[in-house]
C-alpha cells in the first residue's frame, strides 16, 4: 500500500471531513460545512459557512493551510469574511476541534510525520 493510500485511510478515520475526490498524490483536502446560512432552500442548494484545509505531504512533513468562508450553491468554497460573531465562533470551534484530532493522528503515523503550517 502506497503512502497516499495509507494516509487516505488514516485521514478518513477523522470523520466526514476528507474529500477524497479532491485529493492528489501528496495533497489532501478536508472541509467542514459548520453553519447553514438558511434552511429555506432545498438541501442540495443550501449554502454554509465553514472552513477548508489543504494538506501537502513533503518528505516527513505535512504542511497545512486553513481557509474560512462560504460554501456556495454551486458547491464551491469562497474566501469570504464571516461577519456574525456567533457564526465565527462556531466555525472556529469546529476547526480547532478538528485540528486537535488531526494533530493527534499525525503523532501516531508510521513512519513519523510532523505537522507544520504552510509558510
The one-digit pLDDT tens for each residue of the chain (119 residues) are 577 888 999 999 999 999 999 999 899 999 999 999 999 999 889 999 999 999 999 989 999 999 999 999 999 999 999 999 999 999 999 999 999 999 999 999 988 899 999 98
Three state DSSP letters for 2-42: CHHHHHHHHHHCCCCCECHHHCCCCEEEEEEEEEECCCCCC
Q: Which of 78, 81, 77, 51 is nearest to 66 (CA)?
A: 51
pLDDT reported for residue 103: 96
Q: What is the C-alpha to C-alpha distance for residues 35 and 1, in angstroms, rounded to an integer? A: 37
Can you give the pLDDT at residue 3?
A: 76
Supply the CATH number for residue 74's domain.
3.30.310.230
Q: What's the confidence (pLDDT) of residue 22?
A: 95
As for how many domains the chain has, the answer is 1
Q: What is the pLDDT of residue 49?
A: 98
- pLDDT of 33 reads 97
Residue 71's domain comprises 3-117
pLDDT at 1: 56
Q: Which of 81, 90, 74, 76 is nearest to 36 (CA)?
A: 90
Amino acid at each position: 500500500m502506497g503512502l497516499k493510500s495509507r494516509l487516505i485511510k488514516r485521514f478518513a478515520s477523522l470523520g466526514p471531513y476528507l474529500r477524497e475526490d479532491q485529493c492528489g498524490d501528496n495533497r489532501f483536502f478536508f472541509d467542514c460545512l459548520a453553519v447553514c446560512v438558511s434552511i429555506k432552500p432545498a438541501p442540495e442548494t443550501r449554502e454554509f459557512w465553514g472552513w477548508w484545509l489543504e494538506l501537502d505531504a513533503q518528505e516527513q512533513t505535512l504542511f497545512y493551510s486553513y481557509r474560512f468562508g462560504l460554501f456556495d450553491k454551486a458547491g464551491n468554497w469562497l474566501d469570504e469574511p464571516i461577519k456574525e460573531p456567533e457564526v465565527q465562533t462556531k466555525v472556529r470551534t469546529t476547526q480547532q476541534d478538528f485540528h486537535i484530532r488531526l494533530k493527534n493522528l499525525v503523532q501516531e503515523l508510521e513512519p513519523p510525520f510532523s505537522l507544520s503550517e504552510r509558510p
